Amino acid sequence: MKIIVLSTVIMLNSMLYGGGNYMPSPEPIPSVGISSTPSQFYGGLGLIATSTYGHKLNWFSQKLGQDRIGGVLALLGYQFAPNLAVEGRASYVFISPHFSKSTNISLFLKPSYNVTDKIALYGLLGFGWSKIDGYGGHGNIAKNISPQIGLGASYKVKQNIDIFADYTWLLHNKTAITAMPDGSTKVSHEAVTVGAIYHF
């Protein structure tokens, strides 16, 4: 019996390897279009500087009908593809006002492009609600839901931490509730933001 079993094993081995009929295991088929990058939530905080103006914008000097003020911003996003995220933002702008304070809530689609493994450029495409309240005796200025856009860049400091800076157009040439101090009946609202993001 042992001789028969041994002979069978030798014969099978010869058929599989010696006879040239060995069939290799098929290579695994890669998944097409499926990213290996895990989806992830992220959150961040920043400082925001805004300019509310009627006729002309000047970031470097105060003009009649323009209010340059500062505030804080918080954001929460979800990265559902390597170069695409959805991001919500909320800001309150109240530091050193002349005639206004503002609240902004936005929702953006955020496409990005990796320049290097640390530096990325991104866009912000979405809509938001902006409320510009009067200050110092000036009447309320605007309360609108409108399209919003932005451009920015980020730098990866550590695996889970980025710093960023961007420019956003929050309101453009909207009808003011109360005329601006320079007499303009239109109002625009733009912002520069710098901050940090943590990927959970």
CA distance 14 to 12: 5
Which tens digit of pLDDT belongs to each residue from 107-121? 999 999 999 999 999
Q: What is the mean pLDDT of residues 187-192?
A: 96
In DSSP notation, 44-57 reads EEEEEEEEEESS--
| Tally of domains in the chain | 1
Please choose, from the candidates 70, 49, 57, 94, the residue with its C-alpha nearest in 3D space to the C-alpha of residue 173: 57
- pLDDT of residue 93 exceeding 50, the answer is yes
63 within domain boundaries: yes
| Mean pLDDT, the chain, whole residue set | 85
175 within domain boundaries: yes
34 within domain boundaries: no
- pLDDT of residue 14 exceeding 70, the answer is no
Please choose, from the candidates 166, 160, 169, 199, the residue with its C-alpha nearest in 3D space to the C-alpha of residue 187: 169
The whole-model pTM stands at 0.78
Percent of the chain with pLDDT over 70: 80
CA distance 129 to 127: 7
2 within domain boundaries: no
Which tens digit of pLDDT belongs to each residue from 122-143? 999 999 999 999 988 888 999 9
Please choose, from the candidates 128, 39, 151, the residue with its C-alpha nearest in 3D space to the C-alpha of residue 85: 39
Q: What is the mean pLDDT of residues 20-27?
A: 50
- pLDDT of residue 47 exceeding 50, the answer is yes
Question: Residue 24 has what DSSP assignment?
Answer: P
Q: What's the pLDDT at 56?
A: 83
Q: What is the mean pLDDT of residues 141-156?
A: 96
Question: Which comes out higher in pLDDT, residue 200 or 21?
Answer: 200
- pLDDT of residue 152 exceeding 50, the answer is yes
Burial of 193 (0-12, 13-18, 19+ CB in 10 A): buried
- pLDDT of residue 176 exceeding 50, the answer is yes
125 within domain boundaries: yes
- pLDDT of residue 52 exceeding 80, the answer is yes
180 within domain boundaries: yes
The CATH number covering residue 109 comes to 2.40.160.20
119 within domain boundaries: yes
Q: Which domain range does residue 95 map to?
A: 40-199
126 within domain boundaries: yes
Q: What's the pLDDT at 199?
A: 94
Q: What's the pLDDT at 77?
A: 98
Q: What's the pLDDT at 58?
A: 86
Question: Which comes out higher in pLDDT, residue 37 or 177?
Answer: 177
Q: What's the pLDDT at 35?
A: 40
Q: What's the pLDDT at 63?
A: 81
